[in-house]
A and B are shown apart, each in its own frame.
Chain A
């Protein structure tokens, strides 16, 4: 399973040229922006997504849903082009033969049974055997036993799965999922991850959004990090993990002798500066993992006992902000 995530390195470069355009990739965004009045939801984003699982990671409100809706032809890009298998997604219902969309909103008519809902999707896809296709899709998401119950009686996780069954019923080559793990319990989450891995193994292109790093890390081969409407980082998750952890960081330390420890830290190249407070020492380090490797040694050599070491700025939000500032 290979994933290629192609991104222009800087926003100042021109659009993807014909020679370098990753036309073979099923999903291509070329300098795409979307604004609502004065509010920019997506800001000049370009990337291509190939087969395999790609995670669209970013905090709530970063522009993930706007991006997915543009990919699904449900929003017009204000600028740039969104291509699905080489064709613009906007105003072309034929893309839905190749796309399956699992929207974040739960809205499904509660009076339909799971089977009726998935069969409706199969009929609208004009499949030859809608009942059989629906049965296969329901089985795939492990919902066969509850298929004849009204969707209104389903749990949140079951609704998520029935939506996935409906999105899968026509065997699409591209699957777009908006926050697919929301509301699922850990067991359902694992099952869903297995399911997505299996489908990716069959050569599908799967793009899912999430605001939870751990979900993306466990599942995705490639990651696109979105923050404030911009593409903050992209590529292999290990690389992004390293970027996220190896960033300047501030630590709060309590020890048996803060003053002596501060002096010891000042000889370390990984430390920018220290600041003595009433009952604590604040240390600014050049990178997260580098500092965590030296802190114990420095304290031991100085003969100081560490009582507490805590990063002060470890929210995902600040990680995203840092990634954006690097670009």
Chain B
């Protein structure tokens, strides 16, 4: 698994993609810096809406989408994955290291961004630090769930990037927030549930609450298994 993980990491950290993702993940830090440089101090009231609206709802799904589809779907489409597929190894042995690397990269970028932008926006009072830590933990877990979804999409279709973008914008962005029932099948809601369980009381309200943690882990396991099954039945695309 280590060999697949190393190659995946090197492929994902291509120069252009890394710079773009660092810029995207770093946008909240830039925002915090601008606010501080403009002479205003920390505004704890801004902390939660910014972390939730910017990092959880927008930047996390996008970074996970880029790394998740690049880790498997792009390699299947450009043919480089053939050299890994034609080896006598179980398909989950291919999926898991890719999940660990792409999920880890997404989590690392997003957690650093959460902590730095959180401190710039909210200051270092103990209440704010507790909120920031809750967000960081939830975002780290959410990174892996999102990446698992985009890996599975990449294994299932050559249009993983487009379908993934549609899912992130329409399902997670619009529907899951608006319709009560859909929240039970929303990664964003699981993340909000974990935050509401970890952060000081009154930070966020969530339909799933502390069960968001269980739901996220369950989703991670089920989706990784589905991605492995899909890969086991993978058929080369664009044949003659």
- Using a CB–CB cutoff of 8 Å, the interface residues on chain A facing chain B are 36, 41, 60-66, 69, 72-76, 91, 93-97, 99, 101, 103, 105-109, 111-112, 117, 120-121, 123-126, 163, 166
Contacts and interface: CB of A to CB of B under 8 A. Distances in A.
A108 B240 CA distance: 20
A93 B82 contact: no
A279 to B, nearest CB: 42
Given A73-B86, A120-B7, 15 more contacts: A64-B240, A69-B236, A69-B239, A74-B86, A93-B90, A95-B88, A97-B88, A101-B82, A107-B78, A108-B83, A120-B3, A123-B3, A124-B4, A124-B84, A166-B83
A72 B240 contact: no
Contacts of A121: 83, 87
A76 B233 contact: yes
Contacts of B4: 124
B155 to A, nearest CB: 14
B240 A111 contact: no
Contact of A109 (B7, B86, B90): B7
B86 A101 contact: yes
B100 interface: no
Contacts of A117: 83
Contacts of A93: 87-91, 232
B80 interface: yes
Contacts of A97: 88
10 contacts: A62-B240, A64-B240, A72-B86, A75-B239, A91-B232, A105-B82, A107-B79, A117-B83, A124-B87, A163-B83
Nearest to B78: A107
A63 B239 CA distance: 9
A124 B89 contact: yes
B115 interface: no
A75 B82 CA distance: 12
B240 to A, nearest CB: 5
Nearest to B87: A124
A97 B88 CA distance: 6
A96 to B, nearest CB: 4
B82 A74 contact: yes
Contact of A76 (B79, B85, B91, B235): B235
Contacts of B89: 93, 124, 126
Contacts of B80: 107-109
Given A96-B88, A111-B11, A75 B83 contact: no
B236 A75 contact: yes
Contacts of A66: 239-240
A91 B233 contact: yes
A141 B11 CA distance: 26
Nearest to A116: B7
B10 interface: yes
A61 B240 contact: yes
Contacts of B90: 93
A65 B83 contact: no
A74 B88 contact: no
A27 B136 CA distance: 54
B102 to A, nearest CB: 16
A166 B232 CA distance: 22
A96 B90 CA distance: 11
- B87, B90, B240 interface centre (most CB from chain A within 10 Å): B240
A83 B80 CA distance: 25
Contact of A112 (B7, B86, B232, B235): B7
Contact of B239 (A41, A101, A123, A163): A41
Interface in B1-52: 3-4, 7, 10-11
Nearest to A112: B7
Nearest to B233: A91
Contacts of A96: 86-88
Given A105-B82, A120-B3, A166-B83, A125 B88 contact: yes
